[in-house]
Amino acid sequence: MTRILKMLRLAPALALAPTLALIPLANAATTSNTFNVTASVTNACTVSGTTLAFGAYDPTALTSLDGSSTISVLCTLNSAYTIGLNKGVNGPNVSDRKMSNGSYTLDYALYSDSGRTSNWDNTGSGAVSSTGTGANQNFTVFGRIPASQNVPQGSYTDTITITVTF
């Protein structure tokens, strides 16, 4: 019987327990604030080029020898840039580029168009302009060795510097 009495005494408290759990504690409080997250994206570009290998030039042929190479540029999205090609190590200027074999030279030219009419210069209107996409962009360099140059056999070379200004 005492057991039944104890249960009867606890019954009202057990009935109120779920309701009491919903009442917030008088001393509980919260506060909040914010903080900023920042980053600065810089303009950046990388560039590479493949070898322009003309192959065998026949100085007795009456036709020019054409070749091409590819310049690959990767620039920050929406970053404007220009690609310039210098005169090389043997040429006196960009409109008179030369490959050399010792003291002998072989004239050639570099163009930005397949018709080979626009000399690819290092600056100004002869440079190629574009805008970065955030992915590699490829540009073809069109080369030409003019016909009928009186030069001895041998290997002729030059080195061109690609300059990307952004």
pLDDT tens per residue, range 51-69:
999 999 999 999 999 999 9
The Cα–Cα gap between 150 and 86 comes to 25
Residue 123, pLDDT score: 87
**Tens digits of per-residue pLDDT, 72-119?**
999 999 999 999 999 999 999 999 999 999 999 999 999 999 999 999
Distance CA 71, CA 83 (A): 9
CATH class for domain 45-165?
A: mainly beta
Q: What is the pLDDT of residue 27?
A: 82
**137 near 74, Cβ under 8 Å?**
yes
By the 8 A CB rule, do 160 and 111 touch? Answer: no
Predicted local confidence at residue 134, as pLDDT: 97
Q: 120-151 burial by CB neighbour count: b if 16+ within 10 A, else e?
A: bbbeeebbbebebeeeebebebbbbbeeeeee
